[in-house]
Structure 1
């Protein structure tokens, strides 16, 4: 910690409380941990410990859907360079029908600086999905108030399935929905670049 703390810092002018806080120059994630403050007088000694987390919000969070087979989709949430290790959950639906997906796979990796990279994904059959499906990726950094949600809407890409799922909606209308989904994905991709 040498060179990282301003030893002359005073939080107030009160002689009894002016040194009750530390001023840390450029905190880094390596500085996370338990800190103890000890106060000694001629008559008594008191100490108090507390946990400090220096967190790094992710540099990138992507929620994507990709066809993996004839009638399957891979829903993936990718979180890059976050600290501490993020908790990432996938949800399907909204409101009262919003459910956390079970059977989700997770792959993690750690950077040299201690930050984390997390990929959470699940492969679903189109036949198990609705005509329009809201998926959400929720992430949190434990021990902090940092929360982030990304959402995407997936429409199964096979017009005959859409027509069957819509009970009477014709294939031409379903094809237009599919084309709209593809155009939306392309526009989103272009704006992210």
Structure 2
């Protein structure tokens, strides 16, 4: 009978001092350039907080400790997040809740991953994990056409400074061009640059003009963007057209063309003759 009473008392006491994470808020998607993000781990410690309360945050597994708070001490930032956390930020005025959250300043793409919050005492422990992706939509995205030959046009779509790995497609009437070729590169910072080119023959364009679409997407970030260009078959090569446009500009830029000087001199002489 005594054992039963002790067992019941143990269950009741464990509920009084149980640790429970009620809510964990980690933004799933963050655009590069965002000033700050807050990772919050809202927990309860029962009616009577147990001794030895510790809040820890891990990045990508149990070996990646990045933040630790042992009330009433000040929080500690470790490893990857050093220099990236606002140490003055408080999520609550409650002494046992004040520094449970992390305010990350200017998060970069390298901070993409899984974040685990662990709340523990000497008696109980609870943990939850959420993922965050810091994505970059790029700082340059353009779609151009270049015609070097009479019946062929080259479509070129370029985007830079992307994260995570992008997908680029050139569409004709909503259908990807089969002859398109894509070149993907990644720099030392893990950022991607992508270029897709396609060669289109005038015979493949059955209307007076056709609109081509370059579709750029970051599947993991649920992000899409596009650029369009309109092609008119039968036009002369672009490099020839550019020369024809520049010639009159060069004449206009000349201060005193020989023909203009002769015309002006003849007019002056004629005026003098009329006067006299």
TM over 0.5: yes
The answer to whether structure 1 residue 70 and structure 2 residue 150 are counterparts is yes
2:221 equivalent among 144, 149, 152: 144
For 2:100 and 2:175, the matched residues in 1 are separated by 46
Residue equivalent to 1:88: 168
SS, match of residue 220 in structure 2: coil
* Equivalent position of 1:116 in the other structure: 192
CA apart distance, 1:127: 0.4
1:156 is aligned to: 233
Equivalent residue number for residue 211 of structure 2: 134
CA distance in 2, matches of 1:104, 1:136: 12
Secondary structure in structure 2 of the residue aligned to 1:81: strand
Tell me if structure 1 keeps the 8 A contact 2:167–2:217: yes
Q: Following superposition of structure 1 onto structure 2, how do residues 28-107 of structure 1 map, counting pairs within 5 Å? A: 28-93=108-173, 98-107=174-183
Q: CA deviation at 1:78?
A: 0.3
TM-score, length basis structure 1: 0.70
**Alpha-carbon displacement from aligned partner over 1:172-193 (angstroms, at most 9, x marks no partner):** xxxxxx9xxx89xx9xxxxxxx
Matching residue of 2:89: 9
- SS at structure 2 position matched to 1:102: coil
Secondary structure at the aligned position of 1:85 is classed as coil
Distance 1:105 1:16, change over 3 A: farther
Q: TM-score normalised to the size of structure 2?
A: 0.51
Number of residue equivalences: 160
Q: Larger C-alpha radius of gyration, 1 or 2?
A: 2
**Structure 2: which 5+ runs fail to align?**
1-80, 246-276
State the alpha-carbon separation in 1 of the partners of residues 187 and 137 from structure 2. Answer: 14
Per-residue CA deviations over 1:89-139 (Å, capped at 9, x if unaligned) read 21112xxxx222223211112222221110011112110113211111111
Map Cα deviations across residues 55-101 of structure 1 (whole Å, 9 max, x no partner): 222111111111243311111110011122222121112xxxx2222
Query: Is the CA contact (8 Å cut-off) linking 2:150 and 2:234 kept in structure 1?
Result: no
How much does 1:15 deviate?
Answer: 6.7
Cα separation, partners in 2 of 1:78 and 1:16, compared to 1, 3 Å:
same
CA-based RMSD of the aligned residues comes to 2.8
